[in-house]
């Protein structure tokens, strides 16, 4: 079986109001970080569990990977390729901020091996972008998309709905404009209030308020309708793609495939262990320079955890939970074990099941957390 690599680039020029991902705005440590990342990559190449395994997907996430120069990406790619054989069509994705993209940078990334770009557009409404405290505006987002199109590269657009002051209409206008710009993949995430963020402070102090649940529900369901009518197939709660353009890296997470995380705060999974790197740049640099690794937490996955994760992950997917595979793996008849709960959600139109699969309906996907927590 092959595996995936996730590389966390922990720098952002400014911090968005809603974001609690690990990133810092002091860019002075970028070069030291890149040198350290190369050392960590080298150290992981000697991990017996990965030796000889083929690399199916690579994902540069963050933070803001597009703050890295094409040369930085190229030298990292060289190191990775030296250590791990690539599959014949390795998907190599990179998150980019619209503000960072120029034609020469884009061509540099392509030359370094990136073959899929994930553009953080979030909204095409300037007042919503200001609430999110994004660096770009609607015009720069459109220009970035047009640049990607004119270079004929595979790209995805990330959007956020449920923004304070956002109406169903303004959300659907953003979505319709993005669809018109012809990405092959769209991710749409419901805005969540994370602890310690500036957005949470604004909500708590009454400066801003989130749209009501019913409005957010209407945003989600009408977006599914619009995307489906426009030829996108939903394959996960928040992800839609034209046929054949699903994100293989994220699919690897959702189907329990092994992955290696590099960089501070990145997560890794190689059965039966999950581990996480330290979420501190100085500590990351010190630890990697000492031992080649900077792991802060490690968990062994018990059979019970494996079962819960399986249910949690597969019910996210529109393909659903395969009942015979579940029974083969865990020795449990899922339907008999959960008949009462399944019937309740079925009667409310939140899930469907037959003798082969259990699947959430679009309405069920909107409340997936509640359904899944009652099933595990």
Out of 30, 36, 56, 64, the only residue in the binding site for ligand SF4 (CB under 6 A) is 64
> What does the block give as tokens for 140?
């720069």
**Distance between CA atoms of residues 262 and 242, nearest Å:** 30
| Phi, psi (degrees; rounded to nearest 5) at 67 | -80, -15
Q: Does 63 bind ligand SF4 (CB under 6 A)?
A: yes
Cβ nearer to ligand SF4, comparing 62 with 261: 62
As measured in angstroms, the least distance from the Cβ of 96 to ligand SF4 is 10
As measured in angstroms, the least distance from the Cβ of 8 to ligand SF4 is 10
As measured in angstroms, the least distance from the Cβ of 80 to ligand SF4 is 22
Out of 5, 9, 16, 372, the only residue in the binding site for ligand SF4 (CB under 6 A) is 16
Q: Does 189 bind ligand SF4 (CB under 6 A)?
A: no
Closest to 76 (Cα-Cα) out of 119, 26, 115, 114:
114
Q: Would you call 273 helix, strand, or coil by DSSP? A: strand
Q: Does 62 bind ligand SF4 (CB under 6 A)?
A: yes
As measured in angstroms, the least distance from the Cβ of 155 to ligand SF4 is 17
Contact present, 64 and 100 (Cβ < 8 Å): yes
Q: Which stretch binds ligand SF4 (CB under 6 A): 9-17, 49-57, 303-311, 326-334?
A: 9-17
The residue with its CB nearest to ligand SF4 is: 19
As measured in angstroms, the least distance from the Cβ of 120 to ligand SF4 is 6
Contact present, 20 and 195 (Cβ < 8 Å): yes
As measured in angstroms, the least distance from the Cβ of 325 to ligand SF4 is 35
Q: Does 65 bind ligand SF4 (CB under 6 A)?
A: no
What is the edge-to-edge ordering of all strands in the sheet holding 233-236? Answer: 233-236, 239-241, 185-190, 155-161, 116-122, 86-96, 55-62, 3-9, 259-262, 267-270, 273-277, 295-300
Cβ nearer to ligand SF4, comparing 7 with 342: 7
Q: Does 66 bind ligand SF4 (CB under 6 A)?
A: no
**Distance between CA atoms of residues 319 and 236, nearest Å:** 8
Name residues contacting ligand SF4, limited to 127-186 (CB under 6 A).
Answer: none
> What does the block give as tokens for 1?
């079986």
Q: Would you call 78 helix, strand, or coil by DSSP? A: helix
Q: Does 364 bind ligand SF4 (CB under 6 A)?
A: no
Q: Does 19 bind ligand SF4 (CB under 6 A)?
A: yes
Cβ nearer to ligand SF4, comparing 19 with 110: 19
Cβ nearer to ligand SF4, comparing 62 with 320: 62
Beta strand pairing call for 357-360 and 321-322: antiparallel
Residues 94-133 as x/- pattern, contact with ligand SF4 by CB under 6 A: ---x------------------------------------
Q: Does 197 bind ligand SF4 (CB under 6 A)?
A: no
Contact present, 368 and 361 (Cβ < 8 Å): no
Closest to 284 (Cα-Cα) out of 69, 9, 25, 3:
9
Which DSSP symbol is given to 176? H
Q: Does 234 bind ligand SF4 (CB under 6 A)?
A: no
Out of 4, 8, 23, 315, the only residue in the binding site for ligand SF4 (CB under 6 A) is 23
The distance in angstroms from the start CA to the end CA of the chain is: 28
Cβ nearer to ligand SF4, comparing 21 with 357: 21
**Distance between CA atoms of residues 171 and 160, nearest Å:** 9
As measured in angstroms, the least distance from the Cβ of 281 to ligand SF4 is 14
**Distance between CA atoms of residues 133 and 375, nearest Å:** 37
Total residues in contact with ligand SF4, by rule CB under 6 A: 10
Q: Would you call 138 helix, strand, or coil by DSSP? A: helix
Strand partners of residue 373: none
User: Which residues make up the interface to ligand SF4 (CB under 6 A)?
Assistant: 12, 15-16, 19, 21, 23, 62-64, 97
């Amino acid at each position: 079986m092959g595996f995936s690599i996730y590389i966390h680039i922990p720098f952002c020029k400014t911090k968005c109001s809603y974001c609690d991902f690990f990133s810092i705005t002091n860019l002075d440590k970028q070069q030291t970080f890149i040198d350290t990342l190369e050392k960590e990559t080298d150290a992981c190449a000697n991990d017996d569990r990965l030796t000889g395994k083929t690399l199916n997907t690579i994902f540069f996430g963050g933070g803001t990977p597009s703050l890295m120069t094409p040369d930085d990406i190229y030298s990292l790619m060289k190191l990775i390729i030296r250590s791990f054989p690539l599959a014949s069509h390795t998907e190599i994705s990179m998150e980019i901020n619209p503000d960072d993209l120029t034609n020469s940078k884009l061509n540099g990334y392509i030359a370094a091996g990136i073959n899929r770009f994930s553009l953080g557009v979030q909204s095409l409404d300037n007042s919503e972008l200001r609430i999110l405290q994004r660096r770009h505006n609607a015009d720069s987002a459109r220009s970035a998309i047009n640049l990607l199109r004119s270079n004929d590269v595979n790209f995805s657009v990330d959007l956020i709905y449920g923004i304070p002051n956002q109406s169903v209409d303004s959300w659907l206008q953003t979505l319709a404009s993005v669809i018109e710009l012809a990405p092959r993949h769209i991710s749409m995430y419901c805005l969540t209030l994370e602890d310690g963020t500036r957005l949470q402070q604004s909500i708590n102090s009454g400066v801003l308020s989130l749209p009501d649940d019913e409005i957010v529900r209407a945003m989600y369901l009408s977006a599914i309708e619009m995307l489906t009518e426009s030829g996108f197939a939903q394959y996960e709660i928040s992800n839609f793609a034209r046929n054949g353009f699903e994100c293989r890296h994220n699919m690897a997470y959702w189907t329990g495939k092994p992955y290696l995380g590099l960089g501070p705060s990145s997560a890794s999974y190689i059965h039966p262990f999950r581990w996480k790197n330290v979420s501190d740049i100085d500590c990351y640099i010190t630890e990697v320079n000492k031992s080649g690794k900077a792991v802060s937490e490690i968990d062994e996955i018990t059979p019970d955890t494996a079962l819960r994760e399986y249910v949690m992950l597969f019910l996210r997917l529109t393909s659903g939970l395969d009942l015979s595979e579940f029974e083969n793996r865990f020795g449990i008849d899922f339907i008999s074990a959960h008949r009462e709960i399944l019937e309740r959600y079925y009667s409310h139109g939140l899930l469907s099941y037959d003798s082969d699969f259990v699947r959430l309906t679009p309405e069920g996907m909107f409340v997936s957390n509640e359904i899944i927590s009652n099933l595990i």
